[in-house]
Amino acid sequence: MNAATASTLSASGGGAGVPRHVAIIMDGNGRWAKARHLPRVAGHRKGAEAVRATIRAAGELGIEVLTLYAFSSENWRRPEEEVSDLKGLLRHYLLAELDELASNGIRLKVIGDYTRFGPELTRMLDDAIARTADNRSTTLVIALNYGSQDELVRAARALAEDARAGRIAPDAIDVAAIEARLDTADLPPPDLVIRTSGEHRLSNFLLWQAAYAELLFVDTLWPDFGRDDLFAAVADYGRRNRRFGGL
């Protein structure tokens, strides 16, 4: 499948076409490294190459939003050395890739409380977000220190404060009111959620937003995921009939 094929799929009425928003749970870095008798950080480094290839493929396909689950709120339970390696990799990625993101018109957005990564990384992320804010080709969303249950708790607290202050009536709280207070308030909901490495769970990722998303679980470990894998996933999605509860 190539970009022309994807465009044809999008225009045809026989299936779902090309998704506006693809979200990926990037899983399998550690297992990739273990199978090669390498340290886990080698898997994370190879996974960063897969990120680069996937972003480029998303641009070819015309995907508007690509969300990548990079670091969950539960990942702090991992060994301190691995967390430190991941922070270093994030720092390296921002330094190495920001120019390409900016030149390709990619807007960077972060969901989750990334301030926990410390002042240096917070500043780098803030600068990257500001530098790419006006870009319009693809929105790259990185989930950092993100957990969907925490996000929903924060939204509920914000609504409770608004109700207590009289800014909103309790009976006016509806789906739109909740969505307006989520980290993804300015994004369309994900059409397709992909998880690599053969696991079949969402792991606290976009639980509200993925209510009607198509799910695709693939055996490929994330470091081996690339352009052909994303094109194949979009082709699979394009053959599905999304009814949203209707007939």
What residues form the annotated binding site for Mg(2+)? 27, 214
Contact by Cβ (8 Å): 106, 56: no
Contact by Cβ (8 Å): 140, 66: yes
The burial class, CB within 10 Å (0-12 / 13-18 / 19+), for 130 is exposed
For residue 146, which phi and psi values (nearest 5 degrees)?
Answer: -110, 140
Closest by CA to 49, choosing from 191, 204, 226, is 226
d(CA 139, CA 163): 33
d(CA 126, CA 122): 6
Could you list the residues known to form a binding site for substrate, using ranges: 28-32, 40, 44, 72-74, 76, 78, 195, 201-203
Could you list the residues known to form a binding site, using ranges: 27-32, 40, 44, 72-74, 76, 78, 195, 201-203, 214
**Region of residue 90 (left: phi > 0; alpha: psi -120 to 50; beta: else):** alpha
* Residues catalogued as catalytic: 27, 75
d(CA 40, CA 46): 10
Task: List beta partners, residue 24.
Answer: 68, 194
Closest by CA to 63, choosing from 239, 238, 221, is 238
